[in-house]
Amino acid sequence: MKSSHNLSGLILLCLMGYIHPTSAADKFSITLPITARTSSVESDSAAVYYPSKSKYSPIFIGNDGSAETGGFHVYELYGKRSDALVKELGAYKTGRSKLVEVVYGEDRDFVVTLSMSDGMFRVFEVDGKNGVRGLKAEKLVRGDFSAMCTWKSKVGEYVYVLGKRWGYRFLVREKKGGRGVEVVQTQEFGIPIEPNSCTVSPEGKVFLAGDSGKVFSFLAVDETAAPKIVEVGELGGGDEVKGLKIYHGKKDTYLLVGLEDGIEVFDIKKLGSSLGKIQFDDEELEVGDFAVHQTSAKGYEDGSIVFAGEDGEGKFFGVSSLTPLFKALGKGKLNTKYDPRDCTDNHARPKKCANLSDCNGYGYCPKDSRDKKATCDCFPGLTGKTCNKITCPSNCTSPSHGTCTGPNICTCIPPFTGENCATLAVPARYETEESGGADGDDPAIWIHPTDKTKSRIITTVKSEVGSGLGVYDLKGKRTGGVSGGEPNNVDVLYGVEFAGRKVDLAVAACRADDTICIYEITPTGDLVTIPGGVQPLPPAVKELEKKFKVYGSCVYHSPKTGAYHIFVNSKSSLYLQFQLSATTDGKLNTTLVRHFYAGNRGQVEGCVVDDENSSLFLGEEPYGIWSYDAEPDQPAVGTLVDNTVVDGGKLHADVEGVTLVYGKTKKEGYIIVSCQGYSEYNIYQRYPPHEFVMSFSIPDNKEKGVDRVTNTDGITAVGANLGKEWPYGMVVVHDDVNEAAGGGVRADATFKIVGLGDILGNKAVKELGLLKGVDENWDPRK
């Protein structure tokens, strides 16, 4: 029994931490002074540019995530004095963006960015003498992306663009014959997370991490097959990883893992335990993504770190010297000779394969091209032995909807549009007047009891500035509203018995004070406060989830019990179901009647209830749409309605707003879902098994000067006849970027108003007979 005794002793020692390679005491903990900071900017990520000649100063490029000034800014990395404020050299309004990176090309260097507003990946030239100038290439990238990193392989300069469980790899390169720059997709693949950041080691290992604190990695191999992604470890210690970067030491490589309160430093060969932590001398600071500059400069002899930060004064970029880090790590670890133009590539394919026409530049050469059976490994959208033939998804639904004119590039015949010309483009008829805030979300339509043309659109503004509910007529003219609360989603309950009368209510979850916020809708469509209109969450909720914060919401009027319900969820996917009642002293009151975690526990927000069928439909942003029985005494068992494309469905992340149009019978009607990254909407049959009907998007209406919908979020629809102009009701959607007629972007958001008849009754889809499925006499009070 001796050995077993020894073993248990060993286990005990392990548990007590005696034989850990490094104990907490060995770790360094340093605080970097912030030596310079920019003025206020919506910062998320930064990239540093090393000019090719040392006589030029390094610059840094920081994103700008704001709606109005969005794009990126270019700054001098080091001022004349080391403590000087960072000097801005230029601003590029390419649209709200989280992502910027630098690509070192063979002869020229580039700054790349991805706009969330129009989904365009843009390439600008950069050099030490002139800084950033000249747009060189653009490529439309559909999807929702949150991390970008670059790597120099022998084949070319790769840019990884990663987002909601999906990733792309592009080559940024000179076109043949010196005809400018092109962006070529070389790989697309699913990823297990939605990363906040990624970085690539000198050996070509891509690291990515996000919310959960877990870090994943895969190899940047020259092939088109999806990479094998493995979990490296929970380097964030359970906290969200905000940034990942590499420090290229002389011999060692360091992985820097950015958390909200600082940066953990790991030796890449020993990821089991961090060497120490970097913090900044600003106690309020929350660090976002960051970049490292390794070469020496006056006042920054050991290089510097540039970070996106937020403190009491708002968001900005800050710069700190790395000298304290190398005091802790040892001067010997310092590498101020690092040059990002150097490349060490262990996974290279032969660059040329003459027998296969070098794959025409659109594929990877096989290891041995002399083998008679050898064929090229073609980039997405190309095929054939030598990658000389283009292909497109569904062949662009050819010939009626479009033709394939490039690798995965469809040229569509209007009104069709989208990736494979299967999406119907239907312009909005109107937009609401500006809301007074930059961020709207999920709207609702209130139907007037007697004159449906006097129905109202109720919108939400969730940004701190201008927050509240706006009320508009059916042409988008503002008629009223209430301010405050930062509501995300608004819905309408009709005919609630209250203090001896029947009232209509506008119901939302207000994030400003973490309450359910309720207003009465007067018979003329004005919003007024109502006793009990602010419902704090009961203490029981904090017992379910300590950090519960209200997010999405929707309402349900039970046909079985007549009860009125409100569903409220947190980002964690915990749904709370409340029953609404009135107290004897004339106040609204809510009782928690059920709670459950929805879907796969990914982030959820939009929901809608089919009252007639007692079905709750909710969107899990990265996964799809689920339905649940809405009755509180029923088990909460989710049924998947559709998945995102990553999982074989027809949706695209983020799955955001969900709305419903009733039919004349239970077997008719539609569910409409908004897909944020694609700015498209999917229509499904309301009746199970919820067959996919079609998708649509909302382009510019040049005639009326109503701009297109981009980065769409919340949505609402009714099928009821709302007067001559709206015989089949309308769809109202959130629009992220309110593009001004003369170019540029307006600071305040608007909502777009589309005729449901223009979509379902469109000439181009007439043969589907979709209008039959709408009940234009639908009356929510019946």
Ligand X SMILES: *[C@@H]1O[C@H](CO)[C@@H](O)[C@H](O)[C@H]1NC(C)=O
Nearest to ligand X of 240, 514 (CB atom):
514
Handedness of CA 361, 365, 369, 373 (dihedral sign): negative
Helix or strand run (H / E) with residue 541: helix 539-544
What tokens does 772 get? Answer: 């039959």
Whether the CA torsion 368, 372, 373, 377 is positive or negative: it is positive
Among residues 226 and 540, whose Cβ is nearest to ligand X? 540
- Of 549 and 667, nearer to ligand X (C-beta) is 667
Shortest Å distance, C-beta 357 to ligand X = 11
Nearer to ligand X, 375 or 614 (CB): 614
**Nearer Cβ to ligand X (152/690):** 690
Q: How far is the CB of 592 from ligand X (least distance, A)?
A: 7
| Least distance between ligand X and beta carbon 584 (Å) | 7
Closest CA to 170 of 155, 154, 186, 151: 186
- The nearer residue to ligand X, 346 or 405, going by C-beta atoms, is 405
Are 247 and 294 in contact, with CB atoms under 8 Å apart? Answer: yes
Shortest spacing between CB 687 and ligand X, in angstroms? 6
Beta bridge partners of 58: none
Residues of the shown chain interacting with ligand X in the complex, contacts defined by CB under 6 A: 354-355, 369-370, 372, 395, 398-399, 403-404, 583, 589, 591, 613-615, 629, 666, 688
- Work out how close the CB of 395 gets to ligand X at its nearest, in angstroms, rounded to a whole number: 4
Neighbours of 333 (CB within 10 A): 18
Residue 411 CB, nearest approach to ligand X (Å): 10
Cβ proximity to ligand X: between 325 and 507 the closer is: 507
Q: Are 649 and 624 in contact (CB under 8 A)?
A: yes
- Beta-ladder partners of 264: 257, 277
Rounded least distance, CB 587 to ligand X, Å: 7
Q: Residues with Cβ < 8 Å from 523, sequence gap 6 or more?
A: 449
Q: How far apart are CA 45 and CA 38, in angstroms?
A: 13
- Taking residue 214's Cβ as centre, other Cβ atoms within 10 Å add up to 18
Long-range (24+ apart) CB contacts under 8 A made by 4-7 are none
| Beta-carbon contacts of residue 395 (< 8 Å; ≥ 6 apart) | 404, 420
Tell me the closest approach of the beta carbon of residue 534 to ligand X, in angstroms. Answer: 13
User: What gap in Å lies between CA 736 and CA 749, rounded to an integer?
Assistant: 7
CB of 688 to ligand X, least distance (A): 5
Pick 421 or 774: Cβ nearer ligand X: 421
Judged by beta carbon, residue 186 or residue 383, the one nearer ligand X is 383
CA dist., res. 736 & res. 708, Å (int): 10
The alpha carbon of 617 is separated from its chain's Cα centroid by a whole number of angstroms, namely: 21
Helix, strand or coil, per DSSP, at residue 731: strand
Burial 501-536 (b: 16+ CB within 10 A, else e): eebbbbbbbbbeebbbbbbbbeeebebeebebbebe
Distance of CA 175 to the CA centre of its chain: 31
Min CB(560)–ligand X separation in Å? 9
Classified as helix, coil or strand, 11 is helix
Rounded to 5 degrees, what angle do the CA atoms 210, 218, 111 make?
Answer: 70
| Cα–Cα dist 603/572, whole Å | 6
Nearer to ligand X, 471 or 566 (CB): 566
CB of 568 to ligand X, least distance (A): 15
Q: How far is the CB of 667 from ligand X (least distance, A)?
A: 7
Q: Give the 3-state secondary structure of 314-334.
A: EEEEEEEECHHHHHHHCHHHC
What phi and psi values does residue 537 have, to the nearest 5 degrees?
-75, 140
Is 320 within 8 Å of 350 (Cβ atoms)? no
Phi-psi label, residue 252: left if phi above 0, alpha if psi -120 to 50, beta otherwise: beta
Residue 219, CB-side half-sphere exposure with 13 Å CA sphere: 10
Q: Between residues 67 and 404, which has the closer beta carbon with respect to ligand X? A: 404
Q: Between 474 and 588, name the residue whose CB sits nearer to ligand X.
A: 588
For ligand X, give the closer residue by CB, 488 or 685. 685
Shortest distance, position 553 Cβ to ligand X, whole Å: 18
Nearer to ligand X, 82 or 589 (CB): 589
Nearest approach, Cβ of 47 to ligand X (angstroms)? 40
